[in-house]
Amino acid sequence: MNASTIMLFLVIVAGNIFAFGLFVSPVQTFRRILRNRSTEQFSGLPYIYALLNCLICMWYGTPFISSDNLLVLTVNSVGAVFQLVYIILFIIYGEKPTKVRMLGLLLAVLVLFAIIVAGSLQIVDFQTRWMVVGLLSCASLISMFASPLFIINLVIQTKSVEYMPFYLSLSTFLMSTSFFLYGLLNSDAFIYVPNGIGTILGIVQLVLYFYYDKSSREDSKEPLIVSYE
């Protein structure tokens, strides 16, 4: 076993661990939903987007589309299961409009995924099929990684990290880095390009977190009543 094979194996193991950490990060939210038996004001849309992304990337990782992409296949298979469970909980505990909307969106995602699978299998040339599904997975990943830009802007405006959980940002950064290295080792631009973008955005989030978290702590040390003597 050469050095590159060992490195690839370690990246696969690390990627699965970090991805699992990312997938379980909403657990606290769903504990609250289960406890209150209501989805309250939480939005289920991120889980719909995440499910579609996981399904497309899972399909890309199968031998029908690309070879030697075990990490992509395993991680996104597990991720799809987690997102499906979260969506089902929204359907169970949401108000009637939420139930209807989430059920409709879930069906739309499944139909779209079925169209992608059936359509790509109609492409006889393997290289062309790989290119088409690869572009779809790359676009899906980039759109998912672009979503934290709103949070980054909010943190800068409010100078507070209240709405940017540290462990979620850390898990995103670690998983993106693992996939970026995996893509480089596999020479797969459809993996390392979007995850390279995700790694950079992850670094930005962590830098902002430590900067504004430190500023908040320093402000809290100032006396509540200032004496002018």
Give the number of C-alpha atoms closer than 13 A to the C-alpha of residue 15, restricted to the C-beta side.
Answer: 26
Which pTM value belongs to this model? 0.81
Any domain includes 227? no
Any domain includes 226? no
Q: Determine the pLDDT at residue 215.
A: 62
Any domain includes 97? yes
List the chain pLDDT tens, one digit each, 229 residues. 677 778 878 888 888 888 888 888 888 878 888 888 888 777 788 888 889 999 999 999 999 998 878 788 988 999 999 999 999 998 998 888 888 999 999 999 999 999 999 999 999 999 999 999 999 999 988 887 776 677 777 778 888 776 677 777 888 889 899 989 988 988 899 999 999 998 998 898 888 888 887 765 555 444 444 333 3
Query: For the chain, what is the domain count?
Result: 1
Q: Determine the pLDDT at residue 64.
A: 93
Any domain includes 89? yes
Any domain includes 228? no
Any domain includes 75? yes
Any domain includes 7? yes
Q: Determine the pLDDT at residue 132.
A: 95
**Domain containing 62: what range?**
3-220
Asked if 11 and 71 count as a contact pair (C-beta separation under 8 A), the reply is yes
**Whole-angstrom Cα distance, residue 220 to residue 140?**
41
122-151 pLDDT, tens digit each: 999 999 999 999 999 999 888 877 766 777
Q: How many CB atoms lie within 10 A of CB 193?
A: 15
Burial state string for 60-94 with b = 16 or more CB within 10 A and e = fewer than 16 = bbbeebbeebbbbbbbbebbbebbbebbebbbebb
Any domain includes 119? yes
